[in-house]
Amino acid sequence: MKINYIFLIIGIAILTFTCSEDRVNPEFDPSPYLLELNGDLPEPAIPPDNLLTNAKVKLGRMLFYEKKLSKDLTQACADCHLQKDAFTDIRPFSIGVEKLEGKRNAMPIFNLVYHINGFFWDGRATLLRDQALKPIQDPLEMNETLSNAVAKIQNEKIYQDQFIRAFGSDSVSALKISLAIEQFMISIVSHDSKYDRYLKGAATLTLEEERGKDLFFKEYDPLNNIKGAECFHCHSGFNFTNNEFMNNGLDTDSNFKDLGRFNVTKNASDKASFKVPSLRNIEFTAPYMHDSRFNSIDEVIDHYNSHVKQSSTTNILLQNNIKGLNLTTQEKSDLKAFLKTLSDNTYLNNPEYKSPF
């Protein structure tokens, strides 16, 4: 009993000492942040000039949840990217600071270090750190100037301290803000879905999921009586995307509204092409497509089964879909069951991604 009390008192003393020490005199902390991938995902190519440290990831996390980065102090990145929705927004179009509606559906955040072909639906940001500064300045999003954002962060004691831990100096800059947010976003990973566990031999798929998996990874070949949904052509690899920009046949030419990738490259072949999204956690990211036109996975499957439109840029890999895949009701529900095996509750509930405030 006595011994326990002594330990308790020593414990409290150490705690008080370290806490106050931390507050009064923060120190540069270069300790590396370890991304735990358990061999499920390939070795990530972390930018060599922005190697992850615990202090920078933490700073990035604070900034991601920081409403002061917006003009009227009402909006943080996390207001349109909610962890419970796979860091996306269930509103078809996010509402920015001036109550203005954006033009596209917010995108999920996980495994971004593997996105080798740029960010946003049209890929207009090449590096994640460049991406991070755009929403702050976007008039439909946070609508703030970088110099104002820097000044507001510079004024806060908790940020002065955290910048010292992260960068060794309390001086705030837009570049440092972007590097820290890049680090936090890189730290957000998803690799513990039922399907990941199945691949490691640690889970079994139901018969329905198994049939859905076969459909997902097969080409439709009616001559040889082989059913297939053709999804794997584009939603391929461990992250269920080929990292390309493509037109998946949502509209005919006369109905193109958002020209997507074309706005960046000006190549006619990129008209109405959009980033092929990962299908991990797709169960949580409705509504679907860049313009949120589909509300459910069923509607998406119906699109690929029988509504893919021919246009000047519809991808050639969808030629069988254009003719129609003739999936039965059972096959559609099998495919949906497989897509739901890509849901990762570990990621969705990971305390390290929650608000630090």
Q: What distance lies between CA 52 and its chain's CA centroid?
A: 18
Structure tokens at 93: 């179009």
Q: How far apart are CA 54 and CA 166, in angstroms?
A: 8
- Among 77, 153, 166, 186, contact with ligand HEC (rule: CB under 6 A): 77
In the chain, % helix, strand, coil (3-state, to 5) comes to 45, 5, 50
> Least separation, in Å, of the C-beta of 22 and ligand HEC?
27
304 binds ligand HEC (CB under 6 A): yes
248 binds ligand HEC (CB under 6 A): yes
What are the backbone angles phi and psi of residue 202, rounded to the nearest 5°? -105, 5
250 binds ligand HEC (CB under 6 A): yes
Residues between 327 and 356 with contacts to ligand HEC, criterion CB under 6 A: none
Strand partners, 53: 32
> Least separation, in Å, of the C-beta of 28 and ligand HEC?
24
* Cα distances (angstroms) measured from residue 325 to each of 154, 166, 229, 337: 57, 53, 7, 18
> Least separation, in Å, of the C-beta of 326 and ligand HEC?
13
Of the ranges 158-166, 196-204, 206-214, 276-284, which one interacts with ligand HEC (CB under 6 A)? 276-284
Structure tokens at 256: 């193109």
> Least separation, in Å, of the C-beta of 21 and ligand HEC?
32
Our CB check for ligand HEC shows the closer of 14 and 175 to be 175
94 binds ligand HEC (CB under 6 A): yes
Structure tokens at 164: 């010292």
Burial of 130 (0-12, 13-18, 19+ CB in 10 A): middle
- Among 47, 74, 82, 115, contact with ligand HEC (rule: CB under 6 A): 115
Q: Taking the alpha carbons of 204, 207, 209, 215 in that order, is the dihedral positive or negative?
A: positive
Other beta carbons less than 10 A from residue 277's beta carbon: 21
Our CB check for ligand HEC shows the closer of 30 and 137 to be 137
Our CB check for ligand HEC shows the closer of 115 and 309 to be 115
Our CB check for ligand HEC shows the closer of 183 and 248 to be 248
What are the backbone angles phi and psi of residue 332, rounded to the nearest 5°? -65, -40
Residues between 124 and 153 with contacts to ligand HEC, criterion CB under 6 A: 131-132, 135-136, 141-142
Q: How far apart are CA 38 and CA 238, in angstroms?
A: 14
Q: How far apart are CA 244 and CA 157, in angstroms?
A: 43
Verify cis geometry, omega within 30 degrees of 0, for the bond prior to 287. Answer: yes
282 binds ligand HEC (CB under 6 A): yes
Our CB check for ligand HEC shows the closer of 26 and 78 to be 78
Sequence-distant (≥ 6) Cβ neighbours of residue 296 within 8 angstroms:
286
288 binds ligand HEC (CB under 6 A): yes
231 binds ligand HEC (CB under 6 A): yes
Please report, as ranges, the residues that interact with ligand HEC according to CB under 6 A.
64, 75, 77, 79-81, 94, 96, 102, 104, 106-107, 109, 112, 115, 119-121, 131-132, 135-136, 141-142, 181, 185, 229-231, 233-235, 246, 248, 250, 274, 276-277, 279, 282, 285, 288-290, 300-301, 304, 315, 317-318
